[in-house]
Structure 1
Amino acid sequence: MWRSVASNALTFLIVALFLLGGVILFGQSTYRAEGPLNEPVCVRVQSGSNMSRVSQDLEGKGAIANGTLFRLGADYSDKADKLKAGAFLVPAGASMEEIVDIVTRGGASTCGTEVVYRIGVTRKTVQVRELDPATGSFVEVAAFNPAEDETPTDYTRVRNEADTRFRIAVAEGVTSWQVMDTLNSIELLNGEIEQPDEGSLAPDSYEVRVGDTRQSVIDRMQEAQEVLVASAWEGRASDVPLLSPYELLILASIIEKETGVAEERRQVASVFTNRLNRGMRLQTDPTVIYGVTEGVGVLGRGLRQSELRRETPWNTYVIDALPPTPIANPGRASLEAAANPDTTPYIFFVADGTGGHAFAETLAEHNQNVAAWRKIEAERANQ
């Protein structure tokens, strides 16, 4: 009898172990299998949250089919206590194993809310935007000019949320004073800065964190610009009439201020290069404007004849060759245009009414182009 009981118990144990092994294999397979998501979703993990709350949120979003298995898998992989606060993009079809890795890996948030401080040539704006997981594109929630508008509640709401990302976007052609002025107004940054040298900051988008120093942001911008200038100088054409990387930076800043049309940059560069080669004055209005403002603020009006005649270190209607410093912070494209201008016979250009310019080889052609532009100006003034 006891042998029969023992035999039955052994058989039951073997079956139980077999079934348990099958359950474990099934669980492992399900944990690593493609998930039920048909399109990406954004998952927010609040500070102090736990795997139980996260699994409930994931089940609610349809990202996982079994919250218990999700938690067991996190426990088994020793990641249950490594949850990171933030907003994380979970791609379509992500397995539970992949999702556990996403919410425990750490690093910057990959979706959710982003605040962008935009430093433009004529104005600065603050933009609040949300990532649409389905399209991978940001959707604007609010935008305002901090110098003129009331602070919207959407900005106030997200400003102190743990998973909000912050970014500073610097446009090509802004001055160093404009960058410094904006950085000083961003309350999430710390420390003081002095105005950086003109032209020393690379226009780009820079992610920042609460508590970063303003100087650390400036350092990143300057390091990036040094790389861009060195690369452009190394790849310059052998016959450009420039004696140093700094002269390249100066010319690039003038090109940046003269045209916002990408296809024109090398043509504009060719005009200035031709003038330098012929010993002609550059005669470019943006340098005159810089002589008036010295990069502080925006002129906000047309130039006066007296200002065109006034002698300043930057007035290229008065001085020979290049001004002593850049007049703005040029981007990569303008640096490359200064280093490798088109080969053209042009020594003149003027606005053509389309946002671009009309180029000319002779003064007679240029005067015709100027007359055409004056007519366009007059017609617009009468509309």
Structure 2
Amino acid sequence: MKRLGLILAGLLALAVAGFLFAQSYLGQATIEEETAFIIPAGSSLSAVAEKLEDEGLISSADGFLMRARLFGSSDPIQAGEFALEPGMDQGDILAAFQSGDVIRRFVTIPEGMPSVLVYEKLMAEELLTGEIEIPLEGSVLPDTYAFERGQDRGEIIEQMQTAMDQYLAEAWAKRAPDVAVDTMRDALILASIVEKETGKPSERRAIAGLYSNRLRIGMKLQADPTIIYPITKGKPLGRRIRRSEIAMENGYNTYSKFGLPDGPITNPGRESIAAVLNPEKHNYLFMVADGTGGHEFNVTDAEHAAAVERWYALRRERGEM
């Protein structure tokens, strides 16, 4: 029994010695705080190990490589930016690199953001790379998109445009049978007007129905945002529309031309597209602001004239006129 105890004690001593040797020879992780670590595309495991040592995140590049060969899986490491946290050992670090669980950041394109501002937003994001042109108006689906450090801006634009193409096709397939637009592009154009006309989501289908009614009877849309678009390319005008601008003749001014403008005037969101393809059924042909951020809707010109007078009276009361 005594001999067995000596043997066990000896084995334990050997195990402890082996562990201490492994710790000193193979090294260990020395992560003191959460750290972002970047693996450039095409990096070898040796280059990554040296980078880890240079940045003080492991004690030995050679030890990290030895441990990877002895205990790691054969999966390749992935490029990208990884979050290394205190408490991770070398095995955890290697597993993170092999999993491709990179840090993802996000860029949000709000509903109704015109393409010129989408361009400016992406160009201002310093963690993205590459040059882009202003995307076609209406080609980007407003949403939140994930990206990685160093990702090309062109890839992000392509994701946004693919998302728009897919959603528009899905929505078009579910359209009401009597919609006033004949093509997906026309739906996109009308949705962009609806998007710019109201800040109240609950009004979208009513406004879509109003413009659909006008299209069906050949009445000019007379949508103020279509006057502004050729002037600012979708950016805020910052002042009231001038009479001379209302009278301008171009492919977008729906006060001077019949039908839809030549193209979208912003990037409409899903809800505005859906509203155009399933508009509210009513007889409204007119609308005017009601002072709450919404609109009053009317059927006849006389009703509309009275509503306009109420709106003007409210503005005078507020000192806006």
TM superposition score category, shorter chain reference: 0.7 to 0.9
Q: Which amino acid aligns with 1:248?
A: A
SS of the residue 1:194 aligns to: coil
Pairs within 5 Å for 1:227-238: 227-238=166-177
> Kindly tell me: are residues 311 and 180 of structure 1, through their superposed partners in 2, closer, same or farther at Cα, counting changes over 3 Å?
same
Q: 2:257 aligns with which of 304, 312, 319?
A: 319
Aligned AA for 2:313? K
Ranges in structure 2 where 5+ consecutive residues have no aligned partner: 13-32, 38-51, 60-67
How well do the aligned residues superpose, as a CA RMSD in angstroms?
A: 3.8
Q: Deviations over 1:146-201 (max 9, x none)?
A: xxxxxxxxxxxxxxxxxxx6432212112112222333343433332222211001
**Within 5 A, what are the aligned runs for 1:185-264?**
185-264=124-203
User: How high is the TM-score relative to the length of structure 1?
Assistant: 0.62
Whether 1:353 aligns to 2:291 is yes
Instruction: Give 1:205 deviation, angstroms.
Output: 1.7
Q: What is the Cα deviation at residue 323 of structure 1?
A: 1.0
Please list the CA deviations of residues 24-81 of structure 1 after superposition, one character each: whole Å capped at 9, or x if unmatched: xxxxxxxxxxxxxxxxxxx7135435579xxxxxxxxxxxxxxxxxxxxx9x9749xx
For 1:169, the aligned partner's letter is: T
Q: Distance in 2 between matches of 1:267 and 1:177?
A: 28
1:207 to partner: Cα distance? 2.5
Partner residue in 2 for 1:306: 244
* Number of the residue aligned with 2:35: 45
- Decide which moves more: 270-279 or 185-194: 185-194
Q: By percentage of residues, which structure has more helix?
A: 2
TM-score by length of 2: 0.73
Fraction of identical pairs, as percent: 41
Higher relative strand content: 1
Q: Partner residue of 1:277? A: 216
Once the 2 structures are TM-superposed, how far is the Cα of residue 326 of structure 1 from its aligned partner?
0.6
Counterpart residue number, 1:370: 308
Equivalent residues of 1:44, 1:86 under 8 A apart: no
Q: Which amino acid aligns with 2:192?
A: S
CA distance in 2, matches of 1:302, 1:340: 32
1:289 and 2:228 are equivalent in the alignment: yes
Distance 1:46 1:274, change over 3 A: closer
Superposition deviation, residue 228 in structure 1: 1.4
Question: Partners in 2 of 1:215 and 1:103 — Cα distance?
Answer: 27
Counterpart-to-counterpart distance in 1, 2:116 and 2:10: 75
Q: CA offsets, 1:240-263, max 9 Å, x none?
A: 021110000001000000012111
Amino acid at match of 1:44: E
Q: Cα distance 1:363–1:185, how it changes in 2: closer, same or farther (>3 A)?
A: same
SS at match of 1:198: coil
Cα distance in 2 for residues equivalent to 1:78 and 1:251: 57
CA distance in 2, matches of 1:275, 1:85: 53
Residue matched to 1:31:
none
Q: Distance in 2 between matches of 1:185 and 1:87?
A: 24
Who is 2:2 aligned against? 8
Q: 1:339 aligns with which of 274, 277, 283?
A: 277
Task: Check 1:188–1:346 CA distance in 2 against 1; reply closer, same or farther (3 A cut).
Answer: same
Structure 1 position 167 matched with structure 2 position 106: yes
Tell me if the contact between 1:45 and 1:85 (Cα under 8 Å) persists in the aligned partners.
no
Aligned residue type for 1:45: T
Q: Determine the C-alpha separation between the residues in 2 that align with 1:307 and 1:46.
A: 52
Residues 267-293 of structure 1: per-residue CA shift (max 9 Å, x gap) = 110101111112211111001111333
Partner residue in 1 for 2:62: none
Q: Which has the higher contact order (CA 8 A, sep 6+)?
A: 2
Aligned mates of 1:199, 1:305 — CA distance in 2: 27
Q: In structure 1, give the amino acid aligned to 2:295.
A: H
Number of residue pairs matched by the alignment: 277
Question: CA shift at 1:14, angstroms?
Answer: 7.3
Gaps of 5+ in 1: 1-6, 19-42, 53-73, 91-95, 110-164
Residues 187 and 15 of structure 1, relative CA distance in 2, 3 Å threshold: closer
SS at match of 1:320: coil
